[in-house]
Every structure is written in C-alpha cells, then in structure tokens.
Chain A
Amino acid sequence: MNTNMAVCIAVIAKENYPLYIRSVPTQNELKFHYTVHTSLDVVEEKISAVGKALGDQRELYLGLLYPTEDYKMFRKLHNSFTDVMCNPFHNPGDTIQSKAFDGIVSGMMVQTA
C-alpha cells in the first residue's frame, strides 16, 4: 500500500499551460495552483543546469521537492500520459479529459470522505 499520497497533480504542456490539474478539495486550493506555477521555475532551472547529462532515468523526474518514493508515482503518471497522447481522439494541446487518466490520478491522491 502506497503511503505517499498526492494532494495535487498537474500536467503542464511545453507551452506552460495546464493540460490537467486536480487537487484535493480544501480551502487552500489556490495555494496548490501557485505552487504548481512556482515549481515550473524550479523545473526550468534544473533543465538549464543539465549540461552534463547523467543519462539516468531519474533525469526525467528531476526529483524536485521530495525525491525517492514519489518516483513510482511519477512513472505511473507518465505512462498514463503516454496512453493519452496515443489516443487518436485526443488532440495534443487540448486539456486531458480521459477517464482512465482520471482513474490513475484518483488512485494517487489523498482520499477525502
């Protein structure tokens, strides 16, 4: 049983707009959205710092805030994202509306009653 659960999951397009964003309903939901935006800056920083490639799979992950266990979560999410991209009815650049993707995300988020 995975003890690490997410409170907010977002998929951002390369043009920096959200393809998918979902958070656990709380009062501070806006705070999560801000966090997603600031994390984009951290991502950019990390990417520009990669001069010498580690050639390691973790590179995809960048391990921003809490490294290690979250990696499994990221992998599941990435695999699900790949499936969405291969769906012929999905146009890249549109927001993600796949129920299967929703299912995977639900499985990772903190459950609320």
Chain B
Amino acid sequence: MADEAPFQLLHSEVIQYIYKSAEGETESGRNVTKLENIGFRVGQGLIERLTKDTARFKDELDIMKFICKDFWTCVFKKQIDNLRTNHQGIYVLQDNKFGLLSHLSVGKQYLEHAPKYLAFTCGLVRGALSNLGVKSIVTSEVSVMPSYSKKQTAEFIKLHRDSGDTNQN
C-alpha cells in the first residue's frame, strides 16, 4: 500500500540513525529506550488529535478498544486482531501481521533484532494511554507462528496498568 511505505521507511531510518550515532558505545538498551521515548511523544500528540471529537471513555476497557480499533487503524491501517485481558490491568494486544516487521524475513534469525522494531510502537501506545490518563508499562513479544501453510509473525503487546498509587507525589 502506497501510504504505509513512507512511515515504514522512515521508521527503519530512525532506527538505523539511532544505532549508527551510538556506534562505539556498548549496546546497553539505551537505543531501545530512545526509540520508545520518541514513540511516547508521538503517541501523546496523536491521541489528542484522534480523540478531539470522540465521546468521553466509559472505562479502561473502552480506552483499550479504542486503541485496538481507531488508533491502530490510524497508524497501521488495520485493527488489532485479538485483544485479551485478565480484567485486572493486563491486556494483550495481538497483531498477526505487524506492518513494521513485514519487511524482515520470516524466520528465527532476525528475532533478536525485533525489539528494535517494536520499541517505537510500545512508546506510541504508552504515550497515547498517558494522555488519556492511564499510566502503563508496555512490553512486546514477537513469535513466529508455524500454523497454516505460511509462517506468520505475531506481535503481542502486554500492558500492565501501573498501580503505583502508594507513592503520592
């Protein structure tokens, strides 16, 4: 699809850039954090734009559904394929054909690099939730599913609601 290409390419370039400018330093996960922070700020702005005209959300589940449908569609032109929750603050969003990974060959060899390609998106979700008043930790997982005739790459983003209300600032 023509409109997905610019964002995908830009995303890859951002990752390359960050890693290139950190050459020489030990891979301490700082780069992944930088990518996540970029995603965070983008998520904040994006959610403000998207929710300008929507009704107030009833509850957290409502917010998560919005992320899975409208938000995901805006960024990735498709919805989340599966949403699961334990109703206690953990949500798992599953995307069976995650757009930012589609250019990586299917197979185990690139799995170790996958976190780089997920960091921005994790930040994006965290930023969006933050401006909706939900504190969270967003993590991700990639697995290759050998079901069906073709292998598919699925991405899971687990969301833990931060219940650190014991420390009031």
Q: Which residues of A contact B (CB under 8 A)?
A: 14, 50, 53-57, 59-60, 78-79, 81-82, 85-86, 88, 92
The answer to whether B52 touches A54 (Cβ under 8 A) is no
Q: Which residues of B contact A (CB under 8 A)?
A: 41, 44-46, 48-49, 52-53, 55-58, 62, 131, 133
The answer to whether B56 touches A86 (Cβ under 8 A) is no
A88–B45 alpha-carbon span in the complex (Å): 9
Could you jot down 28 A-B contacts, CB within 8 Å? A50-B56, A50-B58, A53-B55, A53-B56, A53-B58, A53-B62, A54-B55, A55-B55, A56-B55, A57-B53, A57-B55, A59-B55, A60-B55, A78-B52, A79-B52, A81-B48, A82-B48, A82-B52, A85-B44, A85-B45, A85-B48, A85-B49, A85-B131, A86-B46, A86-B48, A86-B49, A92-B41, A92-B44
Instruction: Given contacts A53-B56, A57-B55, list 13 more A-B pairs with CB under 8 A.
Output: A14-B133, A59-B55, A59-B56, A78-B52, A79-B52, A81-B48, A82-B48, A82-B52, A85-B49, A86-B49, A88-B45, A92-B41, A92-B131
